[in-house]
Amino acid sequence: MAGKKERERRRARERFERQREQRLQRRRKVRQRTGIGFAVLLAAGLIAGLTVAFAGGGPGSAASGKPTATASASPSATTSAAAVTEPAHHCTYTAAGVAARKVSMPPATPDYTASYTATINTNLGKIDINLLNSKATCTVNSFVHLASAGFWDDSQCHRLSTGGGLYMLQCGDPYAKASAKLSCSATGSGTPGTGGPGYEFDNENLTGATYKAGTVAMANSGTNANGSGTNGSQFFLVYKDSTLPAQYTPFGTITSGLDILQKVAKAGTTCNYAGAGGGVPKEKVVIESVAIHKT
């Protein structure tokens, strides 16, 4: 009898853990679109101290539409990576969610002595980036891995923000297919803005982080229950000095192509995401490929 009761308790615990993980995954998906939008509003003092809960899915971020999130004027938790001495000699990537496009995990041992640059080849021209491998080693390691795997090929940048202290173009989700006509009202699994690589990793390079024109940083949806970060494949390109709290990993600097982003920003958006800030760029930006140059 005692053995039977123990088995029942064990099954109950397993059911609880499965349900908890499912809830966490749903929250991560729905938060990704609006992460940066919240931070900017808070930094501007518009909704400071207000807890905002959304019924769907999310600057950084971009998930299925609207997030389930608690807004705060500063990061709710400091990720463990913040204390890592850079350049990092080891990286941890944790399986999370379903990959928007099949890809393997990045190597756990990065080439921390290398210098990297990247060229994002778009339908509007090339955007060249100097990757900050000595300051955000694990982030650069992931970016190089995804670019080399063609993860972002034939996808489009799904979110443009042109006000409220946030001036950026967000990219990096294969769910935003190059051929698709994006909508600000779409929701559900597979919605542009909800996609990732099937893994997450911690923040880096946050001490004193600022988001000046030319900054390339990771989108995220805050932190997980255990305090770990939620970086994946989505990133944003800052075309004008932006006011953001230091909670989005800066990992690159644009060296040419900033004029492309400014042109896209000038064209504006076709629609606006409810609550998230920004919307679908009117000037379509398609990532044809991302080339990595290592020295």
In CATH, what number is assigned to the domain containing residue 45? Answer: 2.40.100.10
Predicted pLDDT at 147: 98
**The pLDDT of residue 21:** 61
Number of domains in the chain: 1
214: left (phi over 0), alpha (psi -120 to 50) or beta: left
Report which of 184, 182, 138 is spatially closest to residue 157, judged by C-alpha positions: 182
Q: What is the pLDDT of residue 83?
A: 58
Helices (H), ranges, the chain: 2-31, 35-43, 137-148, 258-267
The pLDDT profile of the chain, 295 residues, written as one tens digit per residue, is 556 666 676 676 666 666 656 555 554 544 454 455 544 444 443 332 222 222 222 343 433 232 222 222 223 333 344 457 999 999 999 999 999 999 999 999 999 999 999 999 999 999 999 999 999 999 999 999 999 999 999 999 999 999 999 999 999 999 999 999 999 998 888 999 999 999 999 999 999 999 999 999 999 988 888 878 999 999 999 999 999 999 999 999 999 999 999 999 999 999 999 877 899 999 999 999 999 999 9
Q: Report pLDDT for 17.
A: 64
Range of 19's domain?
Answer: 2-294
What 3-state DSSP class applies to 128? strand
Alpha-carbon distance 135 to 216, whole Å?
Answer: 13
Which pLDDT score, from 0 to 100, does residue 200 have?
97
- Helix and strand numbers, DSSP H then E, in the chain: 4, 11
